[in-house]
Amino acid sequence: MIAYIFPGQGSQFPGMGKDLYENSPIAKELFDQADDILGFGIKKLMFEGTAEDLMQTKVTQPCVFLHSVISVLSLGENFNPGVTAGHSLGEFSALTAAGALTFADGLTLVSKRAAAMQKCCETQKSAMAAVLGLEDEVIEKVCAEVTATGKTVVAANFNCPGQIVISGTEEGVDEASKQLEAAGAKRVVKLQVSGAFHSPLMDPAKVELEAAIAATKFSAPKCPVYQNVDAMPHTDPEEIKANLISQLTSPVRWTKSIQNMISNGVAEFVECGPGNVLTGLMRKIDRGVKAGHLA
């Protein structure tokens, strides 16, 4: 069984999607639709924008979604996933690719999610940092102890064994980083992101996203979609919606998602969209499974 997996924010690059637009009639049509759906020239930003242009959350997320989803929709009938999954933002790509959301609804939701998250980023100083070479339990314990002092910080992304991302207020992330280095982390690297994703600081965005999701029609996907909040496969539209809402303030359980897919019969993973971050993580989760990027 083949799993198609979709990246999150951070995998964008200048010129993304231009080759798809120029070489696929389906892609050209969908990119042109995207401009109409969003009401601005997103394809121009993707094809001609600088790295800085693509860094704002409200721009980054629709760009990554478009590149990811259009790459698989361009395959037409050749796209036959056994399961799909996406990392953070990528979960919307996975759901759209699997038919739980229409292209227009998926893009609209991603745009609303990105705008709500951008607002959170602008109202409170926050940060994220990657912690390398330390056990999950140690990281969670340190985060809980720092949060108990009034400086919010949580484990946000369980990317692969030995790579966990923490998220919270600047003070919380700075204090936790010091303590984690003292506890034996190989490195703690502050990330170039605009906010504390997958933490309680995203609560205001969660309220906005919940209203948008409630107003959107979800269908049963054509294959199970593994969701971030519980690392389990889902096909029920109501469960999918609830998990998407929770995802904004809950950790991304990517390692467990991959392990569960392998346990349930996935023998090959195909990354769809910009970059190859997820393929790199796969090698650290299970080297014995075939993984590559959509050609």
Q: Domain ends where: 146, 168, 190?
A: 190
Q: Which residues pair with 128 in a beta bridge?
A: 167
- Which amino acid, residue 67? H
d(CA 79, CA 52): 33
Same domain, 273 and 152: no
Enter the pTM of the model: 0.92
- 44-65 confidence digits (pLDDT tens): 888 888 888 777 777 889 999 9
Same domain, 101 and 63: yes
Number of structural domains the chain divides into: 2
Residues in the chain: 295
The dihedral through the CA atoms of 193, 197, 201, 204 has a sign that is positive
198 catalytically annotated: yes
Q: Where are the alpha helices (DSSP H) in the chain?
A: 18-23, 25-38, 42-48, 57-73, 90-97, 103-123, 136-147, 170-182, 203-214, 237-247, 254-263, 277-285
For the chain, the maximum distance between any two Cα atoms, rounded to a whole number of angstroms, is 56
User: What is the average per-residue pLDDT within 189-215?
Assistant: 90
Same domain, 25 and 103: yes
Q: Domain ends where: 190, 223, 241?
A: 190
User: What is the average per-residue pLDDT within 192-196?
Assistant: 80
d(CA 34, CA 30): 6
Same domain, 114 and 137: no
71 catalytically annotated: no
Q: 195 lies in a domain?
A: no
Q: Domain ends where: 190, 209, 243?
A: 190
- Which amino acid, residue 135? E
**CATH code, domain with 11:** 3.40.366.10
Q: What distance, in Å, lies between the first and last C-alpha atoms of the chain?
A: 18
- 251-294 confidence digits (pLDDT tens): 999 999 999 999 999 999 999 989 889 999 999 999 889 888 88
Q: At what angle do helices 90-97 and 103-123 cross, to 10 degrees?
A: 170
Q: 63 lies in a domain?
A: yes
User: What is the average per-residue pLDDT within 222-242?
Assistant: 97
Q: Is the pLDDT of residue 29 over 90?
A: yes
Closest CA to 97 of 179, 15, 30: 30
Residue 79 pLDDT? 87
Same domain, 84 and 225: yes
162: left (phi over 0), alpha (psi -120 to 50) or beta: left
Strand blocks (E) in 146-272: 153-160, 163-169, 187-190, 225-226, 233-234, 268-271
Same domain, 112 and 25: yes
Q: What is the extent of the structural domain holding 286?
A: 2-121+200-293
Instruction: Identify the DSSP state of 78.
Output: G
Same domain, 36 and 136: no
Q: Are strands 126-132 and 187-190 parallel, antiparallel or unpaired?
A: antiparallel
Same domain, 141 and 218: no
Same domain, 74 and 169: no
Same domain, 12 and 61: yes
**CATH code, domain with 145:** 3.30.70.250
In this structure, are residues 73 and 64 in contact, taking their beta carbons and an 8 Å threshold? Answer: no
Exactly one of 126, 198, 199, 234 is catalytic; name it: 198
Same domain, 171 and 51: no
Same domain, 245 and 273: yes
Q: How many CB atoms lie within 10 A of CB 125?
A: 12
Residue 149 pLDDT? 94
Residue 295 pLDDT? 62
What Å distances lie between residue 144 and 57, 137, 167, 206, CA to CA? 27, 11, 12, 22
Exactly one of 11, 24, 74, 88 is catalytic; name it: 88
In this structure, are residues 93 and 189 in contact, taking their beta carbons and an 8 Å threshold? Answer: no
- 76-121 confidence digits (pLDDT tens): 888 889 999 999 999 999 999 999 999 999 999 999 998 888 888 8
